[in-house]
Amino acid sequence: MKAIIQRVTKASVTVGDELVSSIGPGLCVLLGISRDDTQKQVEYMVRKILNLRVFDEDGKGWDKNVMDKNLEVLCVSQFTLCYILKGNKPDFHQAMAAEQSQLLYNSFLEQMRDAYCSDRVKDGRFQAYMQVHIQNDGPITIPLESPVVVQDEKQAIKAAKAAAWQPKPKTKPVEDS
């Protein structure tokens, strides 16, 4: 899971001529969900985003998070963050399929709202062609990527063996004289 987190003075999402969501000061989060992401990545991202200290108070440095300041968060699903460049063309095969991704994205929103304040967390419209208007504050932009979580114990053992494997040195047999 990948996110681009921007501290904003305001941000909004429109679809066509319809204003879907808007926030005042806070964070705008563009979230990409890759095909191997699970609830573990969702939990990690929610915790990191809500606790990210990019706000200051009285010039004391960045010591406050969005919850400390009682600010808003605008979340926008952005599959294009899950790209691989093939020459100059982005390939999005690493992005999770839309139906699965929507379930995980909705889980992300629900956890954000449960962990913070439901009326302070807004979102765009999943799988819509959106216009995202961001007035970056600073500018402060933080890319965040969740760690890869191994799915089960068998995969963990296989990954550990692969990491520890080293080829055996080839030795010549000793000849008797």
78 is catalytic: yes
* 176 in a structural domain: no
* 127 in a structural domain: yes
Task: Note the pLDDT of residue 45.
Answer: 97
- pLDDT tens string 43-52: 999 999 999 9
Continuous segment of H or E residues that includes residue 27: strand 26-32
Spot the catalytic one: 80, 100, 131, 135. Answer: 80
* 139 in a structural domain: yes
* 34 in a structural domain: yes
Q: Is the pLDDT of residue 60 over 90?
A: no
* 174 in a structural domain: no
Q: CATH no. for residue 40?
A: 3.50.80.10
Task: Note the pLDDT of residue 61.
Answer: 84
Containing domain of residue 147, as a range?
2-164
Tokens 């999770």 -> residue? 96
Q: Is the pLDDT of residue 174 over 80?
A: no
Spot the catalytic one: 41, 78, 108, 111. Answer: 78
* 177 in a structural domain: no
- pLDDT tens string 34-45: 999 999 999 999
Cis link prior to 169 (omega < 30° from 0)? Answer: no
Q: Is the pLDDT of residue 150 over 60?
A: no
Q: Is the pLDDT of residue 162 over 80?
A: no
171 is catalytic: no
d(CA 85, CA 44): 26
Q: Are 65 and 55 in contact (CB under 8 A)?
A: yes
pTM of the model: 0.81
Phi, psi of 130 (to 5 degrees): -110, 155
Distance of CA 36 to the CA centre of its chain: 13
* 172 in a structural domain: no
Overall number of domains in the chain: 1
CB hemisphere CA count around 102 (13 angstroms): 7
Task: Note the pLDDT of residue 169.
Answer: 61
Q: Is the pLDDT of residue 149 over 80?
A: no
